[in-house]
Amino acid sequence: DAGVTQSPTHLIKTRGQQVTLRCSPKSGHDTVSWYQQALGQGPQFIFQYYEEEERQRGNFPDRFSGHQFPNYSSELNVNALLLGDSALYLCASSPGWGEDYGYTFGSGTRLTVV
Amino acid sequence: GNSVTQMEGPVTLSEEAFLTINCTYTATGYPSLFWYVQYPGEGLQLLLKATKADDKGSNKGFEATYRKETTSFHLEKGSVQVSDSAVYFCALSIDTSGGSYIPTFGRGTSLIVHP
């Protein structure tokens, strides 16, 4: 049973560019969350999707946007990249809404902005 | 707001030593508490959890007890192995609104175990 899969694993972009990261949740999971993990820090919550809608959002600017598809997979888009956006981006999925089911994390996408 | 504070690392131990990683939390309400582990180059894996006061979570020899009176959830293991070397994250989750449980993480504590 595949867990959470993310692509690509590594990415290098130039300041000002745009990037799209992709996530497929664990089989049976329908809720997807995105986190940013800077080097040496804990993951910071970006936003959460359920039923193709953004349900919760952390303290991130509008340059960060997302989408969830009918098959529950998700994308994270970041526009006008800054050097400070360099981080590991983690996708996490859970099997539902309204209960604290716990999260399964992917291995992440390492984004480097130069 | 909700927050988690972990002891700073790295924690360096010899194989078979006793491990304690301290974690305290601040939350409005009654959170669930978690420990996640991150091995080099990988994502986070749930290690153990506790959902109410005095609950003890345990897995792979690790354990932690939810202490409401001291707002703590310290991670312990009686005898560490080299393979336990990783970064450990304490986290809490609580119903933010309408059924959304969003984990809040600490900064992580690096554990290095020498043979």
Q: Dump pLDDT digits (tens) for A30-44.
A: 999 999 999 889 999
3-class DSSP assignment, residue B53:
coil
Q: Dump pLDDT digits (tens) for A71-91.
A: 999 999 999 999 999 999 999
Which one is predicted more confidently, A12 or A99? A12
CA angle A105, A111, B1 (to 5 degrees): 55
Share of chain A above pLDDT 70, in %: 96
Distance from CA of A63 to the nearest CA of B (A): 21
Distance from CA of A112 to the nearest CA of B (A): 15
pLDDT at A66: 97
Q: Is B43–A4 a contact, with Cβ atoms under 8 angstroms apart? A: yes
Q: Is A98–B99 a contact, with Cβ atoms under 8 angstroms apart? A: yes
**Taking residues B31-39, what's their average pLDDT?**
93
Q: Order of strands, edge to edge, in the sheet holding B56-59?
A: B19-21, B75-77, B62-65, B56-59
Predicted confidence (pLDDT) at residue A98 exceeds the cutoff of 70: no
Tokens found for residue B88: 């450990």
Q: Dump pLDDT digits (tens) for A65-74.
A: 999 999 999 9
Q: How confident is the model at residue B98 (pLDDT cuts 50, 70, 90)?
A: low
Q: What number of H helices and E strands is found in chain A?
A: 0, 11
Closest CA to A90 of B91, B12, B51: B91
Distance from CA of A1 to the nearest CA of B (A): 16
**Taking residues A15-32, what's their average pLDDT?**
96
> 């329908």: which residue's tokens?
A30
Name which of A42, A55, A58 is nearest B89 (Cβ-Cβ). Answer: A42
Reported in sequence order, the residue ranges of B1-115 that DSSP labels E, i.e. its strands, are 3-6, 11-14, 19-21, 23-26, 32-38, 44-50, 56-59, 62-65, 75-77, 86-93, 95-97, 100-101, 104-105, 109-114
Distance from CA of A75 to the nearest CA of B (A): 17
Which one is predicted more confidently, B16 or B96? B16
Q: Dump pLDDT digits (tens) for B65-84.
A: 999 999 999 999 999 999 99
Predicted confidence (pLDDT) at residue B95 exceeds the cutoff of 80: no
Closest residue in A to B89 (Cα–Cα): A42
Chain A residues in contact with chain B using a Cβ-Cβ cutoff of 8 Å:
4, 33, 40-45, 48, 55-56, 58, 90, 92, 97-108
Predicted confidence (pLDDT) at residue B97 exceeds the cutoff of 80: no
Q: How confident is the model at residue A13 (pLDDT cuts 50, 70, 90)?
A: very high
Predicted confidence (pLDDT) at residue A1 exceeds the cutoff of 70: no
Q: Is A40–B97 a contact, with Cβ atoms under 8 angstroms apart? A: no
CB atoms within 10 A of CB A12: 11
How buried is B50 (Cβ within 10 angstroms: 0-12 exposed, 13-18 middle, 19+ buried)?
A: buried
Q: How confident is the model at residue A27 (pLDDT cuts 50, 70, 90)?
A: very high
Closest CA to A19 of A68, A94, A103, A82: A82
**Taking residues A51-61, what's their average pLDDT?**
94
